[in-house]
């Protein structure tokens, strides 16, 4: 046995010897930075930790966990994936087939109380206006030279809804999944930093001080009819969005109908957690260095931030219009909660309202536009899919 030859073979088969591109090292460092953001700075840790770790293990040379070449092209050979794919290739089937985003939406639906929105349906207009950023970013992406399908995927970051962004991107521009998902979740975590300056700039102190009337109680019957009706109406208008909105409303129905508590509990906890793990690792692993470290990623990061800002502006402007029309009874701050990051955007409205007037409690009022935003961004995604899909 030749020791030198053995050691040489060992070295040549190691990841160190195959670390041939500096960009691989950059990806490993980037993954560690994202882990820092998730663990230490607590930026959407439930997702960012998984995404960062997925990036890390997929960036290690010869790990053979993920094979991006299997997923390129117009059709995927699932026989090949099952026979030759690595662990993350198998996880990624759930992303590619759209299973994970839909199941996440089911969990979100089971955790969401649409009561504040049903009690004050006018708040849905703010949820619609807060989708402005989607279309502004889409247009700006076209200006920057992105194709229509990629621009649509970038624009959806402005919806502040991770599963929707992943669902649309995997359908329209799967090669951009990693930067778009990372941008979407990072900015959702940064909402308490992004929104307040815009909110203060666009509203007067008098507007921020407005105390809103208490919401009426919503009956159980209304809460049961709501998810069924939304599914029928929305999915008839935009059938492409049925998998997302259908699952969202199924989750909500399980919660509200009162006879499926066990299922509701499973969807909210066990299923949601399992899917979150699989989704985050799969998405992180798609951040392959030769696709991720490009000028396009920087553009996406910029456009995503712009989209978030414009969505906030859209919600606030309609909030100001409703403030005027209602004779000063609606606090325009709740408009910014129309971006669908639930419930963080509503909390930001509450915090800013309380800063202007410590006796102000906007949380429940802001939940109306907030959950409307979830429906609004899903509708916007369905529209973009219908156009480019």
Partner 1 sequence: MLLSLFGGSDMALDDGLILCVVGLLIVFAVLAFLMYFIAVMSKVVGGRGTAPAPAAAPAAAAPAAPAAPAALAKGSCGDVKLFDVDDRTAAMLMAIVADRLEKPLNEIRFVSMHEIEE
DSSP string, 231-253: HHHHHHH-GGGHHHHHHHHHHHH
Asked whether position 380 contacts partner 1 by CB under 8 A, the answer is yes
Give the rounded distance of the alpha carbon of 335 from its chain centre. Answer: 19
Which CB atom, from 61 or from 148, has the smaller least distance to partner 1?
148
Per CB under 8 A, the list member of 61, 90, 209, 211 interacting with partner 1 is 211
Asked whether position 220 contacts partner 1 by CB under 8 A, the answer is yes
Per CB under 8 A, the list member of 85, 107, 109, 127 interacting with partner 1 is 127
Asked whether position 243 contacts partner 1 by CB under 8 A, the answer is no
Q: Which of 172, 182, 157, 185 is nearest to 240 (CA)?
A: 172
Q: Which two tokens stand for residue 364?
A: 């429940």
Which CB atom, from 57 or from 172, has the smaller least distance to partner 1?
172
Asked whether position 188 contacts partner 1 by CB under 8 A, the answer is no
Which CB atom, from 95 or from 334, has the smaller least distance to partner 1?
334
Are the C-beta atoms of 319 and 330 separated by less than 8 Å? yes
Asked whether position 74 contacts partner 1 by CB under 8 A, the answer is no
Alpha helices in 68-214 (DSSP H): 78-84, 87-96, 99-111, 115-119, 123-129, 132-143, 148-155, 162-172, 177-189, 191-202, 205-208
Q: Give how far Cα 172 sits from Cα of 16, 155, 176, 299, Å.
A: 36, 12, 9, 18
Q: What is the CA radius of gyration of the chain?
A: 22
Asked whether position 38 contacts partner 1 by CB under 8 A, the answer is no
Per CB under 8 A, the list member of 55, 59, 102, 131 interacting with partner 1 is 131
Q: How far is the CB of 2 from partner 1 (least distance, A)?
A: 55
Binding mask 337-366 for partner 1 (x = CB under 8 A): ------x---x--x--------x-x-xx--
What lies within 8 Å, CB to CB, of 374 at 6+ separation is 108, 112, 127, 161, 248, 340, 342
Catalog residues that contact partner 1 under the rule CB under 8 A.
111, 113, 115-118, 121-122, 124-125, 127-129, 131-132, 134-136, 138-139, 142-148, 151, 211, 214-222, 225-226, 229-230, 233-234, 237-238, 343, 347, 350, 359, 361, 363-364, 367, 372, 375-376, 379-380, 383-384, 387
């Amino acid at each position: 046995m030749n020791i030198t030859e053995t050691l040489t073979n060992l070295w040549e088969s190691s990841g160190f010897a195959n670390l041939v591109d500096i960009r691989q090292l950059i990806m490993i460092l980037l993954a560690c930075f994202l882990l820092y953001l998730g663990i230490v700075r607590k930026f959407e840790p439930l997702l960012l930790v998984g995404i960062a770790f997925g990036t890390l293990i997929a960036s290690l040379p010869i790990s053979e966990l993920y094979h991006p070449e299997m997923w390129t092209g117009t059709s995927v050979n699932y026989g090949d994936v099952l026979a030759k794919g690595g662990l993350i290739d198998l996880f990624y089937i759930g992303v590619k087939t759209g299973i994970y985003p839909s199941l996440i939406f089911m969990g979100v639906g089971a955790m969401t109380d649409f009561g504040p929105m049903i009690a004050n349906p006018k708040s849905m207009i703010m949820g619609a206006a807060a989708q402005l950023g989607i279309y502004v970013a889409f247009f700006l992406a076209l200006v920057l030279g992105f194709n229509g399908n990629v621009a649509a995927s970038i624009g959806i970051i402005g919806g502040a809804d991770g599963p929707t962004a992943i669902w649309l991107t995997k359908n329209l521009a799967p090669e951009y999944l990693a930067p778009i998902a990372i941008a979407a979740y990072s900015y959702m975590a940064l909402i308490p930093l992004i929104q307040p300056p815009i909110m203060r700039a666009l509203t007067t102190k008098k507007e921020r001080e407005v105390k809103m009337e208490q919401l009426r109680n919503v009956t159980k019957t209304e809460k049961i009819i709501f998810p069924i009706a939304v599914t029928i109406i929305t999915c008839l208008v935009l059938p492409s969005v049925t998998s997302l909105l259908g699952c969202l409303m199924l989750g909500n129905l399980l919660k509200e109908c009162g006879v499926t508590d066990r299922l509701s509990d499973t969807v909210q906890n066990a299923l949601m957690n399992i899917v979150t793990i699989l989704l985050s690792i799969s998405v992180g692993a798609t951040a392959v260095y030769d696709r991720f470290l490009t000028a396009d990623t920087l553009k996406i990061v910029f456009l995503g931030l712009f989209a978030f800002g414009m969505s906030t502006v859209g919600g606030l402007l309609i909030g100001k219009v409703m403030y005027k029309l209602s004779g000063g009874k609606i606090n325009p701050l709740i408009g910014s909660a129309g971006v669908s990051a639930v419930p963080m955007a509503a909390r930001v409205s509450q915090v800013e309202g309380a800063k202007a007037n410590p006796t102000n409690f906007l949380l429940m009022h802001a939940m109306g536009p907030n959950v409307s935003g979830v429906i609004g961004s899903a509708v916007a995604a369905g529209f973009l899919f219908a156009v480019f899909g």
